[in-house]
Each structure stands twice: as structure tokens, then as C-alpha cells.
Amino acid sequence: MVAGQRLREARKKANLTQEELANIIGVKAAEISQYESNKRTPRWPAFNRLLDALHITADEVLGRDITVHDGEDYAVKMAKEDLQILSSIKENPKLYKALLSDPERIVQVINNNLKRVLPEVND
């Protein structure tokens, strides 16, 4: 999921229309539409007002909203989508074992065969 989709979900969760949100943060409704469709990136002041109005953090918008802890001194932030991908890989023991043995090679093999297997996927 990209930032625009996260903004749209946050706006809907806040029960705001694009026009209402635009009025709150001081921009035109068309700008909100462009933010949500990833056609435009808000400038810093508008972005901060957007975060405040939607009660979300920049990490949430950017997809860095999950922290995975591994020991006391190590933490990784990742998007929910990335965590779903990793969980799915772990549920496939053969793929998981292959990735553990040589991650770079296996990713290259998957990437080389991706178009054949999933022709709808673009570069």
C-alpha cells in the first residue's frame, strides 16, 4: 500500500470528506485528491497539518508502522504489507529454507521468472 492509500484510509476513518479535510488543513479539495492518488506530495507544513487532522504519524503514512523487536538492542520498523509478505514466506517451508540458505540467489531466480509466472507484473 502506498502513502496516498494510507491517507485515504485515515481520512475515511476520521469520517471526513476530502473537502472537509482540505478546509481543516487550508488547501483545496483537489489537493487532497492528488495526495490520495499519489499525484502530488504535500509540502511539509501541509503534511504536518494533515497528520494532526487525521491523528496519524508520518511513520504510519510512510508504511513504517510496525516495530519488530529481536532482543533488547535491535528493532526494525516495517509496513504491515511487508510483514504479511514475510509471514506468507514463512508458511512455505521449502521457499523459506531456500531463502535462508542463499537469499540473494533465490530472489534473483524469483525475479527472473516473475514475468513468466505473473505476466501482469511490470518492472
Q: Is residue 71 domain-resident?
A: no
* pLDDT at site 21: 96
Q: Is residue 108 domain-resident?
A: yes
Is residue 98 within 8 Å of residue 107, measured between CB atoms? no
- Model confidence at 3, pLDDT cuts 50, 70, 90, reads confident
* pLDDT at site 61: 86
DSSP annotation string for 9-22: HHHHHTT--HHHHH
Q: What is the count of structural domains for the chain?
A: 2
Is residue 22 within 8 Å of residue 31, measured between CB atoms? yes
Asked if residue 58 and residue 12 are part of one domain, the reply reads yes
* pLDDT at site 36: 94
Residue 90: CB atoms within 10 Å: 11
- Model confidence at 31, pLDDT cuts 50, 70, 90, reads very high
Q: Is residue 68 domain-resident?
A: no
Q: Is residue 67 domain-resident?
A: no
CATH code of the domain in which 13 resides: 1.10.260.40
pLDDT tens column, 38-81: 999 999 999 999 999 999 888 888 877 555 555 566 666 777 78
Is 86 exposed, middle or buried, given 0-12, 13-18 or 19+ CB atoms closer than 10 A? middle
- pLDDT exceeds 80 at position 27: yes
Is residue 10 within 8 Å of residue 56, measured between CB atoms? yes
In the chain, the percentage of residues whose pLDDT exceeds 70 is 86
Question: Which residues are CB-contacts of 67 (< 8 A; sequence separation ≥ 6)?
Answer: 75, 76, 77
Domain membership of residue 98 as a residue range: 92-123
> Coil, helix or strand for 76?
strand
Q: Is residue 12 domain-resident?
A: yes
Asked if residue 55 and residue 104 are part of one domain, the reply reads no
CA atoms of 123 and 115, how far apart (whole Å): 9
